[in-house]
A and B are shown apart, each in its own frame.
Chain A
Amino acid sequence: MAINWFKYSAPSTFYELAGKLAPWFAWSSAILFVIGFYIGFFVAPTDATQGEAYRIMFIHVPASILSMFIYLIMAGYAALGLVFNTRLSSMMATALAPTGALFAFLSLWTGALWGKPMWGAWWVWDARLTSELILLFLYIGFIALHSSIDDPRRADRAAALLAIVGSVNVPIIYFSVKWWNTLHQGSTIKFTGTSMHAAMQQAMWSMVVACWLYAIAVVLTRVRSIILERERGTQWVSELEETK
């Protein structure tokens, strides 16, 4: 059976698909959040060195992972939009930015809350923390640049350049703890294995997947609004039930 992959690259068909998929992602995300919080608070054991405070990791780590991955996906969509001039790719990039910024902020905020009791400082200018802060600024810059240009197609192109250039920062964040002396500890999740107790891992991975599902649900919902806004002059939008 041949699947027509390009069918859903048109905003009109994707609008419908996104509307059907979003609730599924939202509900499975809610269920996994409950599972993740339960394992995180009640099943995962106390840590030998950090006591109970390490549990903030169950939100800190997913937020950090997502903030980096979402940036790469956003830059990928932005590049697709720039090269192939596809409308939907640029709309996806625009829809991803606020969610990525939220996760970058959460990562920094929970990191500060974790750093004060463990390290003794809310903030240090080490390479990991600083590059993550730059990531948040890149997200904010992308959103600001996009909304400062009135013509959406020109805004797409300008913001896409910023997103592509900024993607250089993502490997720097990941490898910062390896390349330089930082206060932030090394990676727990490595390509060679994870140095964490099994129940702690279960909690963390549930939270990572829950955050992914949340991000997808929110981005699909947001892209629907963006599609409606930017395609408002077209016939298919005027024929929609919800716009009548």
Chain B
Amino acid sequence: MTPRRKKTMYIIIGALAGLGMAVGLVLYALKNNVSLYFTPTQVFNKEAPQGRNFRIGGLVEAGSVQRDPDGLRVRFNITDTVRNMPVIYKGILPDLFKEGKGVVAEGKLEEDNVFHASEVLAKHDENYMPPEAKDALDKAAKAQAAAGAASAVPAPVAPAAPAANK
């Protein structure tokens, strides 16, 4: 390798390393802005913007979905297994919206401590399997939960904020 080629190569490698570090630091500084949503814990710690729209994400708490008999209004809790956030939404839910599954809602936290969502998106996981395999897994999980419930301490879940009844 001639000295000139060596020099060019070192300049390229150096520039790429420097650029990579710069981009890394910028993205680290913008961590919260890059993330699509806040978790209920972050909202509880007042890390989410106050008084304007943001997105909140987590799991739909099992047993929390209530549909109003009069129409499209639906209430549910978004949980990250530590904190819960009550959500109210009027509109059509995506097909994959299910209790215990991932969800991302966009809206505003109102005075009543309820998240008024204007859009609800379903978030699915990265596992793909046929229904039979899923049934088998669910059964195994249930059996394990039943066996574990006798001995293990249940995971700490903060009580849900009282849902405002209008």
Q: Which residues of A contact B (CB under 8 A)?
A: 45-50, 54, 57, 79, 82-85, 117-121, 124-127, 164-165, 167-168, 172, 179-183, 185-188, 195-197, 200
Q: How far is the CA of A159 from the CA of B23 in the complex (A)?
A: 20
Are B128 and A196 interface neighbours, CB within 8 A?
A: yes
Secondary structure at chain A's binding surface: helix, strand, loop or mixed?
Answer: loop
The contact sample of 7 A-B pairs, CB cut-off 8 A, is A50-B124, A83-B12, A119-B96, A165-B15, A187-B126, A195-B126, A196-B127
Q: Which residues of B contact A (CB under 8 A)?
A: 5, 8-9, 12, 15-16, 19-20, 23, 27, 31, 34-39, 57, 93-96, 101, 104, 119-131, 133-135
A119 and B130 contact, Cβ closer than 8 Å, known pairs A127-B36, A167-B16, A180-B35: no
Q: How far is the CA of A186 from the CA of B126 in the complex (A)?
A: 6
Are A180 and B8 interface neighbours, CB within 8 A?
A: no
Are A195 and B127 interface neighbours, CB within 8 A?
A: yes
Contacts of B34 in A (CB 8 A): 127, 179-180
Contacts of A195 in B (CB 8 A): 126-128
Across the interface, B121 reaches (CB within 8 A) one of A83, A124, A197, namely: A124
- Shortest distance from the beta carbon of A154 to any chain B beta carbon, whole Å: 15
Kindly report which residue of chain B lies nearest to residue A160, judged by CB atoms: B12
Are A118 and B96 interface neighbours, CB within 8 A?
A: yes
Q: How far is the CA of A124 from the CA of B133 in the complex (A)?
A: 31
- Shortest distance from the beta carbon of B137 to any chain A beta carbon, whole Å: 9
Are A183 and B123 interface neighbours, CB within 8 A?
A: yes
Q: How far is the CA of A196 from the CA of B127 in the complex (A)?
A: 6
